[in-house]
Amino acid sequence: MQLFPCPFCGPRSESEFHFGGDAGNHRPEGFRDVTDSEWTAYLYERNNPRGAANEIWMHMACGEVFRMERDTVDHRVAQSFVLGEGGDNGGMA
Amino acid sequence: MTRHYSALSLFKEGLRGQKGWQKAWRSPAPKPRYDILIIGGGGHGLATAYYLAKVHNIRNIAVIEKGWLGGGNTGRNTTVVRSNYFFPESTELYDLALRLYETLGREINYNIMLSQRGIMTLAHSEADMEMAARTVNAMQINGTDAELFGIEDVRRVLPLLNVSPQARYPVFGGVWQGRAGTARHDAVAWGYARAADRLGVDIIQTCEVEEFLIEGGRCRGVKTSLGEIRAERTGMVVAGHSSHLAAKAGFRLPITSYALQACVSEPIKPVLDTVVLSPGTGVYASQSDKGELVVGGALDRVPSYGQRGNLPVLEDVVTGLLEMFPSFRQLRLMRQWAGIVDVTPDSSPILGESPLPGLFLNCGWGTGGFKAIPAGGTLLAHLLATGKHHDVSRPFDLDRFSRGRLIDEAAGSGIAH
């Protein structure tokens, strides 16, 4: 059983968390001006990196969404962040 | 040297001390140039090479594999073959695979130990029974075999199953596909490898792709750990690692990689002679020819390239199995492992040319690639030989995600991811 760090609740069992996709995958703005390929990229295409990953997760126990940096090969978690904090893109917000 | 496998050659070799067997395939050094290069020496990659040589008569082909043949998902699945899907496009695809499996052993002179013992997908409520009837109707209309089973039929094929009304997931009946079953997974990879090698295909193991050779906007081959290999057309057949190689080729795919785990018990005498899947517990099981119970369940819900399963899912699988078969309670688990599967948003595969011209894809099979190997090989071979889609592969092109023509088998046939 792996523990993931919720920025609000601290370390909790992996089974309490839900994967929410790539950090920084913003919904395209502009409605009718958005092209099919932009929608496809947003809706379906994924980074799915082998190694260092920057992801959005939800802690289903508290309902909060946050950003987590971890490694997809050895599963080590580097750090988790409240959205909008922690540098580069903050995920969303 | 003995090349052909038969009871007679086994007998003759027995008299000679088994010294005359020829190696099943050569291990040549890579040539600098091929007509067609296939990345990935699993079932789908080796089948692609075989059908290119056999059906399209192209012999200057290489298959490169970073590890050993069939060491990825081909050697890690639970060996089930079936075609019980909902949409016509899916039945065309998976039933093509099942039909090819039915004659494969004889065709390639390799015993793939196909056992069409049937698969029972259980229904746990009246509503489930209505959905089961819908699935059976769809399968029959799409031209494959299916039967709606009531509780007495289930009891007959699964005497050890807990069908008590007090069960956590009571059993009302289910969908039966009698032509489904199991096949020896390693034998499929080895059989295709041997047959492809006989037709002149170079199979090169421990040869890892480092980067793609892109010239004039086209894929011209790859740079590998064993040097550059050039080819007119390249096929990428790397399952869970598709996104990783796609990034090297400069595009992204609608794929997330997850670990899918399975486990086997100690071997016991025959107790289970079909494949059974319970959507309630999310667990499926069969018994191998060695007597081990082969058990699998849902994906680990953490994107991963780790090739090992996590404990919460293993717990769910084992408790689910015991809910279904209380008499298995005393069995010990012998082994547990995981493969990295390439899951698409609609749980259907991707077949077709990639955004990089000259590079063709066979990926996105998710949790169900093994059953599709003969079809995946046939269709990618057609794409690589002609540059065009086969009618069966056309709906599975990458363009379905921008056209909005998804083939959603997650909703259609209730795939558990």
- Which DSSP string corresponds to B145-188? --EEEEHHHHHHH-TTS---TTSSS---EEEEETT-EE--HHHH
Please tell me which of the candidates A17, A37, A46 has its beta carbon nearest to residue B243.
A46
How far B301 CA lies from chain A's nearest CA (Å)? 7
Q: Which helix (H) or strand (E) holds B400?
A: helix B400-403
Domain containing A68 equals 40-93
With bands split at pLDDT 50, 70 and 90, how would you rate the model's confidence at A89? low
Phi–psi pair at B190, nearest 5 degrees: -65, -40
In a domain, A27, yes or no: no
The answer for residues whose C-beta is within 8 angstroms of residue B332's C-beta and 6 or more apart is: B265, B266
Q: DSSP assignment of B291-343, as one string? A: SPEEEEEEEEEEE--S-S--HHHHHHHHHHHHHH-GGGTTPPEEEEEEEEEEE
Task: Extract the runs of DSSP E, i.e. beta strands, from B186-242.
Answer: 202-204, 209-215, 218-224, 227-236
Rg (C-alpha) for chain A, rounded Å, is: 14
The Cβ of residue B27 has, within 10 Å, a number of other Cβ atoms equal to 11
DSSP state of B386: H
Asked if A49 lies within 8 A of B302 by C-beta distance, the reply is no
In a domain, A73, yes or no: yes
Q: How far apart are CA B92 and CA B83, in angstroms?
A: 9
How far B390 CA lies from chain A's nearest CA (Å)? 24
Q: How far apart are CA B85 and CA B101, in angstroms?
A: 17
Nearest CA in chain A to B302: A19
- CB contact at 8 A, B386 and B58: no
The answer for residues whose C-beta is within 8 angstroms of residue B139's C-beta and 6 or more apart is: B83, B84, B85, B86, B91, B145, B146, B175, B177
Q: Which residues of chain B have pLDDT under 50?
A: 417
Instruction: Give the mean model confidence (pLDDT) for residues A19-48.
Output: 95
Residues of B in contact with A47 (CB under 8 A): 243, 247, 252
Asked if B302 lies within 8 A of A75 by C-beta distance, the reply is yes
Please tell me which of the candidates A1, A45, A73 has its beta carbon nearest to residue B306.
A73
Asked if B302 lies within 8 A of A55 by C-beta distance, the reply is no
Please tell me which of the candidates A17, A37, A72 has its beta carbon nearest to residue B402.
A37
Please tell me which of the candidates A46, A55, A75 has its beta carbon nearest to residue B306.
A75
How far B300 CA lies from chain A's nearest CA (Å)? 9
Domain count, chain A: 1
Measured CA distances, B68 to B40, B41, B203 (Å): 10, 7, 10
The answer for residues whose C-beta is within 8 angstroms of residue B336's C-beta and 6 or more apart is: B261, B262, B263, B309, B314
Give chain A's contact residues with B (Cβ, < 8 Å).
1-2, 13-15, 17-19, 36-37, 39-41, 43-51, 53, 55, 72-75
How far B180 CA lies from chain A's nearest CA (Å)? 32
How far B306 CA lies from chain A's nearest CA (Å)? 5
The answer to whether B20 contacts chain A (CB < 8 Å) is: no
The Cβ of residue A11 has, within 10 Å, a number of other Cβ atoms equal to 11
Asked if B311 lies within 8 A of A1 by C-beta distance, the reply is yes
The answer to whether B302 contacts chain A (CB < 8 Å) is: yes
In a domain, A86, yes or no: yes
Q: How far apart are CA B99 and CA B103, in angstroms?
A: 7
Please report the pLDDT score of residue A91 as a whole number: 47
Please tell me which of the candidates A18, A46, A53 has its beta carbon nearest to residue B252.
A46
Residues of B in contact with A75 (CB under 8 A): 302, 304, 306
Asked if B252 lies within 8 A of A41 by C-beta distance, the reply is yes
Q: How far apart are CA B255 and CA B264, in angstroms?
A: 28
pLDDT digits (tens, 9 = 90+) for B9-19: 999 999 999 99
Q: How far apart are CA B181 and CA B363, in angstroms?
A: 23
Measured CA distances, B375 to B83, B98, B218, B378, B409 (Å): 12, 8, 27, 5, 17
Which one of B311, B402, B403 makes the best mutation probe of the A interface by having the most chain A beta carbons within 10 Å? B402
Chain A / chain B CB contacts < 8 angstroms: 71
Q: DSSP assignment of B241-272, as one string? A: GHHHHHHHHT--BS-EEEEEEEEEE---SS--
Please report the pLDDT score of residue B143 as a whole number: 96
Asked if A13 lies within 8 A of B252 by C-beta distance, the reply is no
Residue A88 has pLDDT above 60, yes or no: no
- Map out the domains of chain B with their CATH numbers: 25-110+184-254+346-412 (3.50.50.60), 119-181+257-343 (3.30.9.10)
Please report the pLDDT score of residue B83 as a whole number: 96
What does the block give as tokens for B390? 């086969």
- Single-letter code of the amino acid located at A18: H
In a domain, A52, yes or no: yes
- For residues B235, B239, B243, B244, the Cα torsion angle rounded to the nearest 10 degrees is -90
- With b for 16 or more beta-carbon neighbours within 10 A and e for fewer, the B391-415 pattern comes to ebbebbbbebbbeeebbbbbebbeb
Q: Which residue in the block uniquely carries the two structure tokens 């970073």?
A: B66
Q: How far apart are CA B38 and CA B26, in angstroms?
A: 17
How far B307 CA lies from chain A's nearest CA (Å)? 8
CA dihedral sign, ordered B121, B127, B129, B131: negative
Residues of B in contact with A41 (CB under 8 A): 252
Please report the pLDDT score of residue B415 as a whole number: 65
The answer to whether B319 contacts chain A (CB < 8 Å) is: no
Asked if B241 lies within 8 A of A41 by C-beta distance, the reply is no
In a domain, A84, yes or no: yes
B 397-416 residues with CB < 8 A to A: 401-402
The Cβ of residue A62 has, within 10 Å, a number of other Cβ atoms equal to 13
pLDDT digits (tens, 9 = 90+) for B268-314: 999 999 999 999 999 999 999 999 999 999 999 999 999 899 999 99
